């Protein structure tokens, strides 16, 4: 059911690769709520994924951008501003660890890969926000949301160096939220999502086991990608204007459970 919560709002959505991607669901829900937006992903992902089908469905333009390349980020923002003037919302749904992908455990990291993990999965949020601020690309009371995972705060050994990237991502969201809030009343938050079956999610060692454990331990069960999209819509809407610099758990209660006799 749609409520017209994003009627007239313009945005940018990073990270829709295929129809399992969380960003894909967010794009569908934003479209249903009346928003217009640009879809963006790395050039290689545009070739490998199925984003064209999504773009057609939601009437969006696709602008390629590798989040580690400054010129790509600046060009994306330039195109968005030519199209919309300022944007009202941005979804950062980007993550990749070459160490995780190549099965390197946390105590045997390749440091070139580690740099790449941090650049793609964390520093990219800073790069995005700084480029937006320099171009004055986000409207007052605009909203930026990045997706994170609880391994930033508690140890999940199979999550490898992505845990460090997520800790940095959450910190950048808080720190930039301070600066952007004072400067332009722009909100910046992270959503800490349940484990979800997607290309990025399934790459984590032991994923099947920990998605099942989380589902049993969460009183409401794991939150789906569709439910995450609903939460993103609420954060892009005017109903959450005073929420910023927060890490918001969207996990069926999992993060607050100590002992779960019913869930073991």
Ligand X SMILES: NC(=O)c1ccc[n+]([C@@H]2O[C@H](COP(=O)([O-])OP(=O)(O)OC[C@H]3O[C@@H](n4cnc5c(N)ncnc54)[C@H](O)[C@@H]3O)[C@@H](O)[C@H]2O)c1
Question: Interface with ligand X by CB under 6 A: which residues?
Answer: 15, 17, 21-23, 41-42, 45, 66-68, 93-96, 120, 147-149, 193, 195-196, 198-201
Q: Which residue number, 21 or 139, has a Cβ lying nearer to ligand X?
A: 21
Rg of the chain in Å (alpha carbons): 17
Give yes or no for a contact between 160 and 99, defined as CB atoms under 8 angstroms apart. Answer: yes
We find the least distance from the C-beta atom of residue 7 to ligand X, in angstroms, to be: 26
We find the least distance from the C-beta atom of residue 162 to ligand X, in angstroms, to be: 7
Q: Which residue number, 6 or 100, has a Cβ lying nearer to ligand X?
A: 100
- Determine the Cα–Cα distance for residues 259 and 102; give it in Å rounded to an integer: 34
We find the least distance from the C-beta atom of residue 242 to ligand X, in angstroms, to be: 24
Q: Which residue number, 193 or 244, has a Cβ lying nearer to ligand X?
A: 193
We find the least distance from the C-beta atom of residue 148 to ligand X, in angstroms, to be: 6
We find the least distance from the C-beta atom of residue 207 to ligand X, in angstroms, to be: 8
We find the least distance from the C-beta atom of residue 185 to ligand X, in angstroms, to be: 25
- Determine the Cα–Cα distance for residues 213 and 229; give it in Å rounded to an integer: 23
Q: Which residue number, 158 or 181, has a Cβ lying nearer to ligand X?
A: 158
Q: Which residue number, 5 or 22, has a Cβ lying nearer to ligand X?
A: 22
Q: Which residue is nearest to ligand X (CB)?
A: 201
Q: Which residue number, 15 or 252, has a Cβ lying nearer to ligand X?
A: 15
Separation in Å, CA 189 to CA 91, 111, 200, 213, 254: 10, 29, 21, 26, 19
Q: Which residue number, 80 or 96, has a Cβ lying nearer to ligand X?
A: 96
We find the least distance from the C-beta atom of residue 183 to ligand X, in angstroms, to be: 25
């Amino acid at each position: 059911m749609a409520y017209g919560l994003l009627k007239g709002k313009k945005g940018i959505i990073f990270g829709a690769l295929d129809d399992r991607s969380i960003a894909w669901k967010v794009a569908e829900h934003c479209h249903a709520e009346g928003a217009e937006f640009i879809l963006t992903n790395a050039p290689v992902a545009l070739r490998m994924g199925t984003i064209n089908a999504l773009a057609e469905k939601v009437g969006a333009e696709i602008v390629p951008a590798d989040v580690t390349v400054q010129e790509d980020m600046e060009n994306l923002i330039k195109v968005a501003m030519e199209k919309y003037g300022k944007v009202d919302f941005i979804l950062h749904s980007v993550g990749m660890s070459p160490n995780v992908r190549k099965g390197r455990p946390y105590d045997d990291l390749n440091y070139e890969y580690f740099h790449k993990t941090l650049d793609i999965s964390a520093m990219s949020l800073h790069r995005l926000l700084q480029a937006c601020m320099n171009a004055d690309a986000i409207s007052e009371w605009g909203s930026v949301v990045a997706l994170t995972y609880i391994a930033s705060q508690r140890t999940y050994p199979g999550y490898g160096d992505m845990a460090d990237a997520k800790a940095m991502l959450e910190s950048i969201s808080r720190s930039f939220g301070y600066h952007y809030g004072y400067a332009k009343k722009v909100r910046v938050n992270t959503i800490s999502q349940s484990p979800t079956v997607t290309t990025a999610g399934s790459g984590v060692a032991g994923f099947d086991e920990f998605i099942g454990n989380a589902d049993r331990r969460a009183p409401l069960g794991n939150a789906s990608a569709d439910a995450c999209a609903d939460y993103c819509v609420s954060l892009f809407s005017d109903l959450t204007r005073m929420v910023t610099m927060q890490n918001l758990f969207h996990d069926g209660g999992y993060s607050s459970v100590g002992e779960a006799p019913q869930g073991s």
